[in-house]
Amino acid sequence: MAVALASQLREGTQKSHTMAENTGFVSCFLKGVVDKLSYRTLVADLYFVYAAMEKAVDQHRSNPVLAPIAFEQLNRRGALERDLAYYFGADWRQQIRQTPACAAYVARIEELSATAPELLVGHHYTRYLGDLSGGQILSTIASRAMNLTDGQGLAFYRFEAIDDEKAFKTTYRAALDALPVDQAMADRIVAEANEAFHLNMLMFQELEGNLVAAIGKVLFGFLTRRQRQGSTEAVAAA
């Protein structure tokens, strides 16, 4: 009996989705306030998350619940590697490290891979479908905010193996609805999707500290320049 998993995931994660969008880092991002140092940390975090996810998916390609949504066209690891080379240079592998929130996210993926791979469907849906849905908008914002040219540093948002994103999302949702799960498993997958949102929010909250520091530095520099400018104007007037 079909359980309409796609709609259950959409409806069951609406609150978490809204909470994630309202974190300070994401709110600033959507408004075009993007610090390159914070952003490259995000790219590194996402690399570790997707590397873990895609490794887990590869290990469970015979799993009847996970395999039907394991579309290789969605894979992001290679794109993230290109972005990391842009932001960190050729030796990016020696420079990047998992942040604490990223490490917790990776650990959860690895735990599920070892104990309940079916629940990775919740993480897969949350990350890949979200990236596919908002990729173009976020790419445009990041490009303008960081003065990026020719798409450099934005490979993550380009799904080059997908010609029609709208049609692909329809295919993905149909695959979700066809998964051989009962309602009890569907409930667990939705709960895990909410956990995925939570783990994402922890990464965003970590980045907020870096972003606030960066904005504070810019503001301090602006105020200092204004103060100096005011002093110079006062001296000139005297």
Residue 216 in this model has a pLDDT that exceeds 80: no
Q: Do 72 and 172 meet the contact criterion of CB atoms below 8 Å apart?
A: no
d(CA 164, CA 171): 11
d(CA 69, CA 202): 26
Question: For the segment 65-80, what is each residue's pLDDT rounded down to a tens digit?
Answer: 999 999 999 999 999 9
pLDDT at 11: 97
Domain 5-210 class in CATH: mainly alpha
In the chain, the amino acid numbered 188 is: R
Average pLDDT score, the chain: 88
In the chain, the amino acid numbered 117 is: P
Residue 228 — very low, low, confident or very high, per pLDDT cuts 50/70/90?
Answer: low
pLDDT at 88: 97
pLDDT at 2: 72
DSSP state of 218: H
Domain ranges for the chain, please list them.
Answer: 5-210
Whole-prediction pTM value?
A: 0.86
Burial state string for 14-48 with b = 16 or more CB within 10 A and e = fewer than 16:
eebeeebeebebbebbeeebbbeebbbbbbbbbbb
pLDDT at 104: 98
- Percent of the chain at pLDDT > 70 equals 87
In the chain, the amino acid numbered 180 is: P
